[in-house]
Chains A and B, each alone.
Chain A
């Protein structure tokens, strides 16, 4: 997704010279499509995320649209108060681009996992939060939202190859895209983990269990109407996110259910404890935390047995 982002941003940069790209010294083999084409509009600010957000605030107030790039955890947490007091409180078009949410930096260890970025950002009503599921949707999302008047946090995956089957790059701000028409289980997911969820749904289909997968790709605005419609039809919703279970997608689904008095039960799949320090690949860690396709199939089968 980061390559798709950079390529798309280069196209937009050709049309609009307000677009700037700043990085906190990250983005090797990712940002070149923009950086090589517009060297005068690309600035490596050094390893200084707080200053990057302050700069973005000053630049945006003077009419620029700065994109600020770092790893999801550094982009969201290191500079969090700068983000709140700057772009959010001033309602400025600063874009914070956090790469590699969840366990994408697997063997890099827990300092590099992005397990709370979406929840932290979603907590602030003044920032739009976008987490595309694959590179096609990332491109569509950037094309549709780059010039919104307020700030945006984009969580982008590192994977520029995997396609979420059936999503076809659909993106509409404040809407959710649904894949499949199965009526046994509703999965609700968000971001790069969506491909695991769709794979789990395909495995379940082979066993005669029909699933629908709802891909949420934005908070603030939340796809409340789409969620309400789907959650009204299913007795059980399984939420899946590469994030702590509290604060982001699972919480949103639980809130919609509670706010509207729905009778849908939620099973929230996500990270429930601080990572222990045990390292490994993204696939290993996702399995360990119950959000791999294998684990999701197992969870779904248990639910059906219980039901």
Chain B
């Protein structure tokens, strides 16, 4: 078992994350909606049940790297729901002088690392996990990467390093939604079989339903994060999950919503 736990689990309803993603994307008139919806349940599992972080300033908190930074709006929603971000701050998303951009900034309380350039976050998380091991503390490090991010060669440098150094307290989560900016991953640069690739590199691999919060949290809690290889959850997700007309549609990587689309999306999330 890993390090410090939440004093109390405070489940975060993924539907709340989804509704905040829609509200804020609409208000700011920006895209990346499908990517953020894809990770809403993963983020709900992490912030509601997994991350040992009573306070975002606690040096012994678990570290979390949102390596697929373009989806961080889901994390802003979780920070708000945890009480670490005010509604007023949340409402500055993408506004001038805001720390809440499309990609996360370390200067925002609750964000451990700035990201945005794909393929860099897993190395940083591996460094954070190694630091905990060197310091002899039970802190864990989590990195959320996209499937297409696995196109980046540098990511595999970190994969090799973590396995070689048996960073048991490192947990990667791959958001396997099968899409990337300009197409489906199977058409752009095939990644299958994803789980075999990680296993071949020496990781402890778990294929999970990326929209089942309880199952993901349970899987993570059962990991041996004290000893052994690093862990990866291959989270099978649907891009745009929860909004039928966005699901598995490439264009929702980029597009903002019209009024009609917004009304329909909000209704679908409310009805779910």
Interface centre among B59, B124, B165 (most CB of A within 10 A): B124
Q: How near does chain B come to A95, taking the closest CB pair, in angstroms?
A: 14
Q: How many A-B residue pairs have CB under 8 A?
A: 100
Q: Does B154 contact A (CB under 8 A)?
A: yes
Q: Does A90 contact B (CB under 8 A)?
A: yes
Q: How near does chain A come to B251, taking the closest CB pair, in angstroms?
A: 28
Q: Does A57 contact B (CB under 8 A)?
A: yes
Q: Scan A1-40; emit 1 where CB is below 8 A from any B CB, else 0.
A: 0000000000000000000100000000000000000001
Which chain B residues border A58 with CB–CB below 8 Å? 63, 113, 123-131, 141
Q: Does A171 contact B (CB under 8 A)?
A: no
Q: Could you tell me the distance between the alpha carbons of A64 and B132 in the complex, rounded to whole angstroms?
A: 10
Given known contacts A58-B128, A86-B120, A86-B124, A50 and B154 CB-to-CB distance under 8 angstroms: yes
Q: Scan B164-192; emit 1 where CB is below 8 A from any A CB, else 0.
A: 11000000000000000000000000000
Size of chain A's interface in residues, with CB distance under 8 A?
27
Residue of chain B at shortest CB distance from A64: B131
Q: Which of B95-152 contact A (CB under 8 A)?
A: 106, 112-117, 120-132, 134-135, 139, 141
Q: Does A172 contact B (CB under 8 A)?
A: no
Residue of chain A at shortest CB distance from B141: A58
Size of chain B's interface in residues, with CB distance under 8 A?
33
- Tell me if B123 and A82 are in contact (CB < 8 A): yes
- Tell me if B130 and A55 are in contact (CB < 8 A): yes
- Tell me if A48 and B160 are in contact (CB < 8 A): yes
- Tell me if A54 and B127 are in contact (CB < 8 A): yes
- Tell me if A50 and B157 are in contact (CB < 8 A): yes
- Tell me if A61 and B114 are in contact (CB < 8 A): no
Q: Could you tell me the distance between the alpha carbons of A239 and B241 in the complex, rounded to whole angstroms?
A: 61
Interface centre among B129, B132, B154, B158 (most CB of A within 10 A): B154
Q: Could you tell me the distance between the alpha carbons of A284 and B160 in the complex, rounded to whole angstroms?
A: 41
Q: Does A63 contact B (CB under 8 A)?
A: yes
Which chain B residues border A82 with CB–CB below 8 Å? 120, 123, 154
Which chain A residues border B132 with CB–CB below 8 Å? 62
Partner of A85, one of B117, B131, B141, B157: B117
Interface centre among A40, A45, A64, A81 (most CB of B within 10 A): A45
- Tell me if A48 and B157 are in contact (CB < 8 A): yes
Q: How near does chain B come to A261, taking the closest CB pair, in angstroms?
A: 36
B contact face: mostly helix, strand, loop, or mixed:
helix
Q: Could you tell me the distance between the alpha carbons of A58 and B63 in the complex, rounded to whole angstroms?
A: 9
Q: Could you tell me the distance between the alpha carbons of A51 and B162 in the complex, rounded to whole angstroms?
A: 10
- Tell me if A54 and B160 are in contact (CB < 8 A): no
Given known contacts A50-B123, A51-B123, A85 and B116 CB-to-CB distance under 8 angstroms: yes
Which chain B residues border A290 with CB–CB below 8 Å? none
Q: Could you tell me the distance between the alpha carbons of A55 and B157 in the complex, rounded to whole angstroms?
A: 11
- Tell me if A63 and B59 are in contact (CB < 8 A): yes
Q: How near does chain A come to B104, taking the closest CB pair, in angstroms?
A: 11
Q: Does A56 contact B (CB under 8 A)?
A: yes
Which chain B residues border A56 with CB–CB below 8 Å? 127
Which chain B residues border A60 with CB–CB below 8 Å? 127
Besides A20-B134, A54-B158, A61-B124, 12 new A-B residue pairs in contact (Cβ under 8 A), listed by A number = A48-B154, A48-B157, A51-B123, A55-B123, A59-B128, A60-B127, A61-B63, A61-B131, A62-B139, A82-B120, A82-B123, A90-B113
A selection of 10 A-B contacts at a CB cut-off of 8 Å is A50-B123, A51-B123, A51-B154, A51-B158, A53-B123, A58-B63, A58-B130, A61-B128, A61-B131, A64-B134
Binding site for B on A (CB under 8 A): 20, 40-41, 43, 45-46, 48, 50-51, 53-64, 81-82, 85-86, 89-90
For the complex of A and B, the 3 pairs showing the least CB-CB separation, nearest first, are: A54-B123, A58-B127, A62-B131
